[in-house]
Structure 1
Amino acid sequence: MVDDRTDLLTELLTDLTAESEQLDALVRPLPPESWARPTPAPGWTVAHQIAHLAWTDHVTRLAATDVEAFVTSAASAPDVTRLVEGGAQAFLAPPAELLARWRVGRAALADALAAVPLGQKLPWYGTRMSPASMATARLMETWAHGEDVADALGVTRTPAARLRHVVRLGFRTLGHGFAAHGRAVPTAPVRLEVTAPDGATWAHGPADAADRVTGPALDFCLLVTQRRHRDDLALIAAGPVADEWLDVAQAFAGPPGVGRAPLATPSGVTA
């Protein structure tokens, strides 16, 4: 009998491949000058976004295959923010070379995660993660940085069913968002009900919880990856914990993200 965790990892790696290929299809026809376009992340071009993904795939593979090398890499910068910035800079290259590096690296990562023995957890920055959690995090980051690239290119991407993994991660990191912002982690349960791209409902948390967040799944993913401000999303919070969560939600590890400013002014006029 196949273990459920093995099935989940296979599903996640399949969806991660699909997410990566969608972004690959977006950037591969770009002329070199378009790789230099600025994205919503301050100081980062389209090339920086792909370089960041290539670097993160690389260090994730190290965590799965060479713990000593991963620890050495993690100790190479005084904090996570500088490590991330330095990683993106280190992996920058001419577009064709960068694209090839990302492709080779993400394929190697998928093989590495699939080969991790069942039950083994991998080192990460300040924590340890299962291969399935690592794959989920890579899918979340690939999607989020893909949004940055799409924004830079003026492209609107069609959300896919694989966003369910980002939704689940966003829900599971509720406590992390509060802690990262120096706030007490709430003990009251929260119910999340979001509308999937196909109109279905994805739900997490107790059905009878007083605190609730509802709205489109896409909007929730944009919130927890800090790609949009809550004021620009159709998310509804009921209850004090749910309302505060929308201010601090953060699906990614590390210190609190700066987030994005609202796209609209209080008067409703686009800024």
Structure 2
Amino acid sequence: MADLTALLDDLRAESAELDGLVAGLDRAGLATPTPAAGWTIAHQLSHLAWTDRWSLLAVRDAEGFRAAVEREFTSGAEPIEAGAAEGVGEEPAALLGRWRAGRAELTSALREAEAAGLRLPWFGPPMKPATMATARLMETWAHGQDVADALAVEREPTGRLRQVAHLGVRTMGFAFALHGLPVPPPQLPVRVELTAPTGELWAWGPEDAADRVSGPALDFCLLVTQRRHRDDLALRAEGATASAWLPIAQAFAGLPGGGRLPGETG
């Protein structure tokens, strides 16, 4: 995996690409529906800002983060939906300014956390600053895909997808556990071979594994972020574990979403 500096560079670049899609939108543009049911572009950006806010709390006040999770996620409320709704109707300059300021502050905080050797609490297991940066990159790319789909923009895939794919591979056991299925052994029992946008091969797992997943890196990233249905992707699975994994794969924390139906981006 890349070091924290490289990851933060990728995160900045991914954020800048999304920023370029939304910077000129007025309130009507921000109200454009996206493929996520009930979410407009404003919801998507507000969600990213909300998650950055939670990330900052985790970095700077671990106990405060745990207390907030206990308070807000066990009361029957819907904090994720509420966080996304904060941006609805907000002036474009205010929403974009909030998102930009939060992501810049998080970048600095993650550097400080890395220097201090901290492990950060999260909604799943504690993580290193580099892992949190990878998660933020994945979410920015995934929600950016929703925005691009809403605006009918086809994005050019980049080498930053390697970080998204890596997280998708690393969360295989989590996906099985989330669905109440037997979790594969800790040593990755699946060989994953993905074709990068440049044509090179990205690979994880033992070369001699009987279970294998292969295909374009873009397709794998769309699958593990649940932005496309597997039937619409050129991914191949060989073996029982690989075949069981792909339909439930997810690179994000929390309960599985509804995903996409075959043939739809929404």
TM-score after normalising by structure 2: 0.93
Look up the match of 1:198. 198
Asked whether the 8 Å contact 2:31–2:40 carries over to 1, the reply is: yes
The alignment status of 1:238 with 2:238, answered yes or no, reads: yes
Match among 66, 78, 82 for residue 82 of structure 1: 78
Q: How many Å separate the matches in 2 of 1:51 and 1:30?
A: 14
Match among 3, 8, 14 for residue 13 of structure 1: 8
Asked whether the 8 Å contact 1:55–1:91 carries over to 2, the reply is: no
CA displacement at 1:126 relative to structure 2: 3.5
Structure 2 unaligned blocks of 5 or more: none
CA displacement at 1:206 relative to structure 2: 0.3
Look up the match of 1:248. 248
SS in 2 for 1:212: strand
Q: How many Å separate the matches in 2 of 1:30 and 1:132?
A: 32
Percentage of matched positions with identical amino acids? 59
Q: Which amino acid aligns with 2:223?
A: L
SS in 2 for 1:203: strand
Structure 1 residues 69, 90: closer, same or farther in 2, change over 3 A?
A: farther
Q: Which amino acid aligns with 1:159?
A: P
SS in 1 for 2:126: strand
CA displacement at 1:186 relative to structure 2: 2.1
Look up the match of 1:223. 223
SS in 1 for 2:121: strand
Match among 8, 24, 35 for residue 19 of structure 2: 24
In the TM superposition, 1:1-271 aligns within 5 A as: 8-74=3-69, 75-78=71-74, 82-92=78-88, 93-116=90-113, 117-187=115-185, 189-263=189-263
**Root mean square deviation, CA, Å:** 2.0
Q: Which amino acid aligns with 2:260?
A: R
SS in 2 for 1:253: coil
Asked whether the 8 Å contact 1:54–1:91 carries over to 2, the reply is: no
Q: Which amino acid aligns with 2:198?
A: D
Q: How many Å separate the matches in 2 of 1:79 and 1:186?
A: 33
Asked whether the 8 Å contact 2:43–2:86 carries over to 1, the reply is: no
Q: How many Å separate the matches in 2 of 1:186 and 1:63?
A: 29
CA displacement at 1:209 relative to structure 2: 0.4
Structure 1 unaligned blocks of 5 or more: 265-269
- Per mean C-alpha deviation after superposition, the further-off stretch among 60-69 and 84-93 is 84-93
Q: How many Å separate the matches in 2 of 1:118 and 1:193?
A: 35
Q: Which amino acid aligns with 2:244?
A: E
CA displacement at 1:170 relative to structure 2: 0.6
Q: Any idea what the Cα deviations from partners look like across 1:56-108, whole Å, max 9, x if unmatched?
A: 01110111012243234322233799221122123542211000010000000
CA displacement at 1:137 relative to structure 2: 0.3
